[in-house]
Amino acid sequence: MRDSIAHVHESAAHHRNGVVTLVLKMSAHSSTILWCRGGGEFSRSAADHVAALLARKPEAVIALPTGQTPLGMYGELVARAAAKRLSAAQARFFDLDDYLGLNVHHPLSYARFLREHFLRPAGVPERHIRLLRGDAVGIEAECREYEAAIAAAGGLDLAILGLGINGHIGFNEPGSDWSAQTHVVCLSPETRATHAAQTQGEFAIPEYGITVGISTIVAAREILLLVAGGAKARALAAFRSGIPDPKWPVTALLTHRNLTVLAEAELQPA
Ligand code: GLP
């Protein structure tokens, strides 16, 4: 894959409301990195992106990330929904990943996280929500049914992604098969250690996860990648190198035709 080096150069930096836009030009494709200062600006920009899609297409099909990074965006979207400045009630939502074996009431469950922080307070009806069932009996069937549900909804209009410190997207860890659809994954020691630290060791972190595959992600018509926190610098640098590399799953996004990267300005190299 190293042969297919994409020629990336950055140009067209300009300021708009304090947001610096940098356009990464890569052969036929182009990605946009929006560097945002401060947590509020980052969250508002992410929410603006989702709000613009919902305004264009109220019934949009959206895949959601979990983690610290999107929390501010969810808060912003919920506040706008409460103020009747947007409605997510007609949109349909999926999630990207979850731990294997946990039911939706477990404190570590991503399904629980998304219901608590976004879906319920934003007023999304249950019939528009399909989340991965990490505790499904017959997990292979669950993976197939999940893909079928996304297809039946018309495919993803938008996949919103966080970024793991090792470059994972969803739970697609380094070395993942880029042609995979929804599947069970063995979590890397690095990922489990990060999550154990985030929960102060309160819970045993499962060894396995379930995730939409990279092929499911890149099939989304639009992708929004959210990158916050200094620990993401190496993974972001791998992406910015423009070289698709299975050791850095995030680089699978490099050839996507409609990708926006929202990154905290502190990650911008001097
Ligand atoms: C987890 C999740 C990812 C998420 C990543 C980043 O590993 N599986 O979907 O994007 O963490 O999380 P955070 O935003 O907390 O850094």
Measured from the Cα of 65, ligand 1's closest atom is: 9
Task: Calculate how far, in angstroms, residue 40's C-alpha sits from the geometric centre of ligand 1.
Answer: 19
pLDDT in tens, the chain (270 residues): 222 223 333 433 334 444 544 444 443 455 678 999 867 999 999 999 999 999 999 999 999 999 999 999 999 999 999 999 999 999 999 999 999 999 999 999 999 999 999 999 999 999 999 999 999 999 999 999 999 999 999 999 999 999 999 999 999 999 999 999 999 999 999 999 999 998 887 889 999 999 999 999 999 999 999 999 999 999 999 999 999 999 999 999 999 999 999 999 989 887
CA nearest 46: which of 30, 67, 24? 67
pTM: 0.91
Separation of CA 87 from chain center: 21
**Residue 66 Cα, ligand 1 centroid: separation in angstroms?**
6
35 forms beta bridges with: 20, 263
Burial class (CB in 10 A: 0-12, 13-18, 19+), 221: middle
Ligand 1 pocket, 65 CB below 6 A?
yes
Give the model's pLDDT for residue 29.
54
Judge if the beta carbon of residue 167 lies within 6 A of ligand 1: no
What is the C-alpha separation between 155 and 171, in angstroms, rounded?
A: 20
Q: What is the DSSP string of the chain?
A: -TTS---EEEEEEEEETTEEEEEEEETTEEEEEEEE-SHHHHHHHHHHHHHHHHHH-TT-EEEE--SSTTHHHHHHHHHHHHTTS---SSSEEEESEEETT--TTSTT-HHHHHIIIIITTTT--GGGEE---TT-SSHHHHHHHHHHHHHHTTS-SEEEE---TTS-BTTB-TT--TT--SEEEEPPHHHHHHHHHHTTT-SPPPSEEEE--HHHHHTSSEEEEEE-SGGGHHHHHHHHTT--BTTBGGGGGGG-SSEEEEEEGGGS--
How far CA 48 is from CA of 8, 20, 133, 168, in Å, comes to 27, 15, 30, 25
pLDDT at residue 253, rounded to an integer = 97
In whole angstroms, give the CA distance from residue 108 to residue 110: 6
Report pLDDT for 199.
86
Query: What spacing in Å lies between the alpha carbon of 216 and ligand 1's midpoint?
Result: 17
97: annotated active-site residue: yes
What's the CA gap between 33 and 268, in Å, rounded? 10
pLDDT of the residue at 30: 59
pLDDT at 16: 45
In whole angstroms, give the CA distance from residue 98 to residue 105. 13
Residue 90, ligand 1, Cβ within 6 A: no
* Whether the Cβ atoms of residue 88 and residue 123 lie closer than 8 Å to each other: yes
- Helix/strand/coil (H/E/C) assignment for every residue in 103-169: CCCCCCCHHHHHHHHHHCCCCCCHHHEECCCCCCCCHHHHHHHHHHHHHHCCCCCEEEECCCCCCCE
